[in-house]
Structure 1
């Protein structure tokens, strides 16, 4: 294969012709085809030959799209009598080869990472990318944060490319009043600034945008914004570089100093060992641009938060909410103010201010066991998890969100519904029996469920797993009335059967945190982290309740009992094995339905080794993901 690539290069790269290869990676719906069309038009307007090949995807997260383009140009100040005829001799490729891409454009960061992983980035490659992410299904499925680390992608790009510029395009677009669809033009503007990357003059890009005729005014503005941003970044990096003493070695710019040894020279002859560029092209003198993450830490303005939330709640609650926030600021340390005030607002918006006070009462139980020595980490983490647990999505909550003020106008804007067009919304709901009877008072439901169990009807109904399929249209009178009727059950929520079940679970969770906090602070943090397992609704939520209980009872509590019998009192951590086992087991439980079984298998193995006097460091090493194979029958 290597020899085939060499032969292709010898045929394609004539001594008088420069061929620049461009690869664009995106996801369906981002307009990658538009970006390539602009590049093609700009090359054509510059008097060059170009060819593009695309592999379209779907307008969904699952559809990866790629576009490949080659531009044939002549060197500057050439003395060729018939340039057009000379360019006709260029031989274009139909697809990119790893290590032979000059420009790599990534409209989505993970798609850029895929292309880098496949070997398309090399030291001859200039990367211009959008830091925006559209998360994959596999990233969304885990109970915890399943997102692939952005830092790893950026690090790979920095290591593999010759020069790179990763830009927070959405943030820059928002700062200049531009929409999401302007990202292509903004990236094109950033690319046009980089010296020596493409042979296309800047005016050709502008003319290409105008000739293509798609949202010309907005895209031209975005193009100039991208240029201005990149110019500022290049100048900033240049100033930073000038302030540093130049190294004694490696005098070439990064993009040339790290070029790989070519397989052949510029004339297609066998390589003689001289460090010549891989093919005739302009010298790149580009300073790599630092990654802009857009996640700069901002000082949290608690006063502004209180003011905003006070105005978002009903007017009659405004004074009481401010009084509640004053109590929070008096009772808890400053580090917790933002999280607790935000959570109190969420609870008040979910139910009422009394519900928010009930939430704070639970937080105070854990706060008593925390200390400033640990920077109140336990209380802060518990408060965040409890906020999520107390604002569970029942039928009343779903109904209120479906007819929430602003939902219809937001959908019309997102779907680009023109004035005069009729918009019909249909919501597909499938509540099961517990979700239906869960909104009724517990005093009414519990006796009926007990009677059902005694007669056997309840067991039969559970096996049948009844669901009610509803297709209401909330922007019609009947559909709106259906949802509005459900919201009338909101005053009954605190005494509902669902609330009774949820708050029993919350009480158990809080007692677990208190119990483990008395044993070991880090173990208590782990229990709080496990509380994040419980999310979703319907059968999914019930399964996660079970998974959480199995983790605490069959992994943590069992491990503590075994380890406490052999404690010496000299350990840095009170329960080092339990802590390491718990962290690994929790990751397994969060993966999918089989995780609880895997976690229990792992606990059995680890505690068995511990009973056999295997040193704890060796057991902990064996807990690593690649060190232990678990049965799929779990």
Structure 2
């Protein structure tokens, strides 16, 4: 039992951080009910957040033994003055620490170790996902006691929601002066989903008693292209063997992953094109003494050539939206039960640029080169749509579009992507002969380009802005380091202010 909680006249202060749908209000109500049933006076308030843009809703509870007089209690938590913090997601634990709600002298921090990515993580052009391992290590040092487990997974596994597993972890912590039976009686008084909530409560109780695990290691992608007609499977296996024979050991794993990606995107012949480009880079890498640099040029080329060849277009998006595994994933995430119907609405906003990209190259360029015709047609197609892909009509439309991959090589978008790819690799080969490290960084700049429609346009614009500094950098010994800084600046924020500032610095060199 918590020392402070054992002092019968002391106020216990508890904060719960949870986003919408995580049951923060339910946990708050349960705690108040539990306190009142045990002869305590409890007050609960909440400070709403705006989804995950400004953080979760903070539910705040203060409780004190009921002495027959109404106590004066605070409405909001104060930094350094909280006994217990419950976080329904790992980054909410991080936000609680940033707000000063967690202190090593006083606070017990109970958190779910799973991740629900915030808007601030999703809008970053590059990889904006925060480091969960760093949050866990900080929590170990910042909290008086830190308890963590994947409470979301426990809840889902038991057919409940995270409020039940949070309540179980709180009971296991022993920081409240109430018995486990009292916690369970509180759940039973709810009247809905009692058995599922109790199952989640019991499993979370046991999980909270175990040591806090380290952050899970990054999962490596699985290579799943192993099935198909015998003739195609044999050709694919020949390409896999070619990777082993032609690629240096440092690049083989990435080359196999890249091969699988481009073959899945198009076909076996496209995989042969990928390996031909990669073998050319590998030979150049060897001639330039890349063996002493860990074959960085070949390794990075294996990754980013595959990404460039497997670009996002209407065909790929349509195919993904009609794959059976996607529907299975949606059913799983929605926890669909037997007898329930799933209605799936897609939000689409096509532009005339995407329409032209889907046309034969000559016809697409004909339209693009006539501004009045292009604008007139754009007015017809450039508007938001809500499409029901659970209907036969729209599913069929997208399924047909996904099948256009057999014509992809003749379409305008493919011609544009191939020209851009050829120019990019040409620059890499030219630079590598004079500045190996700079050429490696140019390869890595390809990560700036992703997505389709407006997302692709913004990424391509950042890529062009970053590489506009090459005339200044290619003659400098520290050119690679400066290009890396420019790329990181471009990945840092959505509005591009950091990149523009970095470019001005480079221009002043």
CA distance in structure 1 between the aligned counterparts of 2:495 and 2:414, rounded to whole angstroms:
25
Change (3 A) 1:551 1:223: same
Deviations 1:539-569 (A, max 9, x none): 44234324323322x31232234x3xxxxxx
Q: CA deviation at 1:62?
A: 5.9
Q: CA deviation at 1:492?
A: 0.9
The SS at the match of 1:18 is coil
Q: CA deviation at 1:203?
A: 1.7
1:611 corresponds to which residue? none
- The answer to whether structure 1 residue 97 and structure 2 residue 78 are counterparts is yes
Deviations 1:29-73 (A, max 9, x none): 211112223323333343433222223456666662111112324
* Structure 1 runs not aligned, ≥5 long: 1-12, 74-83, 234-289, 564-574, 608-634
Give the counterpart of 2:132 among 139, 150, 160.
150
Q: CA deviation at 1:221?
A: 2.5
Give the counterpart of 1:203 among 181, 185, 192.
181
Deviates more, 1:595-604 or 1:524-533: 595-604
CA distance in structure 2 between the aligned counterparts of 1:333 and 1:213, rounded to whole angstroms:
64
The SS at the match of 2:469 is helix
1:131 corresponds to which residue? 113
- The answer to whether structure 1 residue 395 and structure 2 residue 395 are counterparts is no
1:294 corresponds to which residue? 216
Q: CA deviation at 1:397?
A: 1.5
CA distance in structure 1 between the aligned counterparts of 2:445 and 2:338, rounded to whole angstroms:
49
- 1:297-308 to 2 correspondence within 5 Å? 305=222, 308=224
CA distance in structure 1 between the aligned counterparts of 2:92 and 2:297, rounded to whole angstroms:
37
CA distance in structure 1 between the aligned counterparts of 2:132 and 2:154, rounded to whole angstroms:
19
The SS at the match of 1:101 is coil
Give the counterpart of 2:204 among 226, 231, 242.
226
Q: Does the 8 Å contact 1:535/1:541 carry over to 2?
A: yes
Give the counterpart of 1:374 among 293, 298, 302.
293
- 1:304-383 to 2 correspondence within 5 Å? 305=222, 308-311=224-227, 317-368=232-283, 369=285, 371-383=290-302
Change (3 A) 1:126 1:230: same
Give the counterpart of 2:490 among 589, 592, 605.
589
The SS at the match of 1:104 is strand
The SS at the match of 2:81 is coil
Change (3 A) 1:358 1:418: same
The SS at the match of 2:100 is coil
Give the counterpart of 2:62 among 51, 70, 78.
70
- 1:176-187 to 2 correspondence within 5 Å? 177-178=157-158, 181-187=160-166
CA distance in structure 1 between the aligned counterparts of 2:424 and 2:294, rounded to whole angstroms:
22
CA distance in structure 2 between the aligned counterparts of 1:185 and 1:352, rounded to whole angstroms:
48
Change (3 A) 1:378 1:224: farther
Q: Does the 8 Å contact 1:440/1:497 carry over to 2?
A: yes
CA distance in structure 2 between the aligned counterparts of 1:521 and 1:416, rounded to whole angstroms:
51
Q: Does the 8 Å contact 1:49/1:87 carry over to 2?
A: no
The SS at the match of 1:489 is helix
2:507 corresponds to which residue? 604
Change (3 A) 1:207 1:468: same
- 1:18-29 to 2 correspondence within 5 Å? 18-29=10-21
CA distance in structure 2 between the aligned counterparts of 1:481 and 1:414, rounded to whole angstroms:
24
Q: Does the 8 Å contact 2:24/2:59 carry over to 1?
A: yes
2:195 corresponds to which residue? 217
CA distance in structure 2 between the aligned counterparts of 1:58 and 1:29, rounded to whole angstroms:
13
Q: CA deviation at 1:403?
A: 2.0
The SS at the match of 1:142 is coil
Q: Does the 8 Å contact 1:126/1:161 carry over to 2?
A: yes
CA distance in structure 2 between the aligned counterparts of 1:111 and 1:143, rounded to whole angstroms:
23
Q: Does the 8 Å contact 2:85/2:108 carry over to 1?
A: yes
Give the counterpart of 1:484 among 378, 384, 399.
399
Q: CA deviation at 1:377?
A: 3.6
- 1:533-572 to 2 correspondence within 5 Å? 533-552=448-467, 554-561=468-475, 563=476
Change (3 A) 1:37 1:381: farther
Change (3 A) 1:411 1:94: same
Deviates more, 1:365-374 or 1:496-505: 365-374
CA distance in structure 2 between the aligned counterparts of 1:342 and 1:387, rounded to whole angstroms:
9
Deviations 1:89-132 (A, max 9, x none): 64433222221110011112332222222222222111111233
1:630 corresponds to which residue? none
Change (3 A) 1:147 1:471: closer
User: Please, what is the CA RMSD of the aligned residues?
Assistant: 3.3
2:41 corresponds to which residue? 49
CA distance in structure 2 between the aligned counterparts of 1:58 and 1:526, rounded to whole angstroms:
38
Q: CA deviation at 1:23?
A: 0.6
CA distance in structure 2 between the aligned counterparts of 1:539 and 1:98, rounded to whole angstroms:
42
What is the TM-score normalised by the length of structure 2? 0.86
What is the TM-score normalised by the length of structure 1? 0.70
Q: CA deviation at 1:14?
A: 13
Q: CA deviation at 1:229?
A: 2.6
- The answer to whether structure 1 residue 458 and structure 2 residue 371 are counterparts is yes
Q: CA deviation at 1:481?
A: 2.9
CA distance in structure 2 between the aligned counterparts of 1:386 and 1:213, rounded to whole angstroms:
57
Q: Does the 8 Å contact 1:61/1:134 carry over to 2?
A: no
Q: Does the 8 Å contact 1:29/1:60 carry over to 2?
A: no
The SS at the match of 1:127 is strand
